[in-house]
Amino acid sequence: MNLIVQKWSYVELAKELAQGVKLIPKTFDELSQKARNYTSLLEKLNKTQEKMASIRAKQLTVLRQVSATKFNVIFAKVKPFVRTVRQKYQNASDNACRIIFRIQPGVFGAG
């Protein structure tokens, strides 16, 4: 079951529980029945909460897997660009050093 169905079930059980609380028993049998209904509804609410928690945990796992996959895809696309930028930076830096050596031959032991 999906989370929406579980939430709907939970809301309906909570409404039913609230209606049961409003009833005022007139006999001991009615009070006993009210207590049994209350216990039964609480058990159903707890089971529904557990199912919702399980669904959320599965959703979180899937979300993490999707995020990791997307990161890897994006990184694979960006990696060549970063490599190109790094190479161009290195080339520009090398060119700058060559220019400095030509302008100032005594600097950096050149000349």
pLDDT digits (tens), the chain, 111 positions:
577 877 788 788 888 878 777 778 888 888 888 888 888 888 988 898 898 899 889 989 998 888 888 888 888 888 888 888 888 878 888 777 777 666 655 555 544
Give the per-residue pLDDT at 83: 86
Distances from the Cα of 102 to the Cαs of 36, 43, 71, 93, in angstroms? 95, 85, 45, 14
Give the per-residue pLDDT at 106: 56
Which pTM value belongs to this model? 0.53
Q: How many CB atoms lie within 10 A of CB 25?
A: 12
Give the per-residue pLDDT at 57: 92
Using CA atoms, how far apart are residues 19 and 39, in angstroms rounded to an integer? 14
Q: Which two tokens stand for residue 80?
A: 């060549």
Concatenated DSSP letters for 56-96?
HHHHHHHHHHHHHHHHHHHHHHHHHHHHHHHHHHHHHHHHH
